[in-house]
Amino acid sequence: MSKSWQPYALHILDAIERIKNIQSRGDLTQDQILYDAALRNLQTLSESTQNLPDGLKAKHSDVPWREISGFRNILVHNYLGEIDPETVAAVVNVHLTPLEEAVKAMLQSPKV
């Protein structure tokens, strides 16, 4: 029996909503608390994408699934200090909306 992926999809949408709320409170590139909160939600979101079915991810090839998954490792291990507030803000501003749209579409699609 395979593990249900829908709770992970909902978890991704929850993390995206939290990041939007964080952004509404100020500039995460200027506020360490907002930055840390965004990082935590990005980590959670990235981990959850690893539990989505490959077949559904393939239908949404415009989303950089592999990079999102890899971003989790960068966030957790902070490889050579590669993460900074500007990078995080760029990821949030560029990739969150397409990811949100893809995950919502996945939840509306027929069973995998």
> Which residue of the set 11, 60, 72, 95 is catalytic?
72
> Which residue of the set 25, 66, 77, 95 is catalytic?
77
In terms of phi and psi (left: phi > 0; alpha: psi -120 to 50; beta: otherwise), the region of 16 is alpha
Catalytic status, residue 60: no
Catalytic status, residue 66: no
Q: Would you name the residues annotated as active-site residues?
A: 72, 77
